[in-house]
Amino acid sequence: MDITDLISSDAIIPTLRAPSKKQALQELARKASELTGIESREIFDVLLERERLGTTGVGHGIAIPHGKLAKLDRLYGVFARMEQPIDFDSIDDEPVDLLFLLLAPESAGADHLKALARVSRLLRDRTVCNKLRGCESRDAIYALFTDTTASHAA
């Protein structure tokens, strides 16, 4: 599974302005709603429910909020680069500036876990993250995802 199977260029928010975790999740849900046709409130509620189980702030400025929705027919990803890092209750207590939202159908099972592992593996690469932090445009971010997909395949 490639990152480009999960995300399209219109699923990228190159400069997300949100002062808090809650507002960042609301903006991600709004963008995901445009892509999936599912109400943003329904997506937001699933994300909040998942955050109550434990933070999706995985450390090093990265968060991978995720959830499952019955109405989805496939996996969807949304990537956002924060204009200013925000507190995300991350496991390392560091603020977050890179977010990769992953939504899956309730029936996804192993595919959901594979996608989470794929995103996590990519975002563990500090070189990739530094390049993402330096990208100013949607096209540049998408090109980076396209380029790194080939080099991180495995």
pLDDT for 153: 46
Q: Which CATH class is domain 3-151?
A: alpha beta
Domain boundaries, the chain: 3-151
The answer, as to whether pTM is greater than 0.85, is yes
pLDDT for 149: 55
DSSP per residue over the chain, as a string? Answer: --HHHH--GGGEEEEE--SSHHHHHHHHHHHHHHHH-S-HHHHHHHHHHHHHHS--EEETTEE--EEEETT-SS-EEEEEEEEEEE----TT---EEEEEEEEEETT-THHHHHHHHHHHHHHT-HHHHHHHHH--SHHHHHHHHHHHHHHT--
pLDDT mean for each 10 residues of the chain (154 residues): 87 96 98 96 97 95 96 95 96 96 91 90 93 93 80 47
> What amino acid positions are annotated as catalytic residues?
66
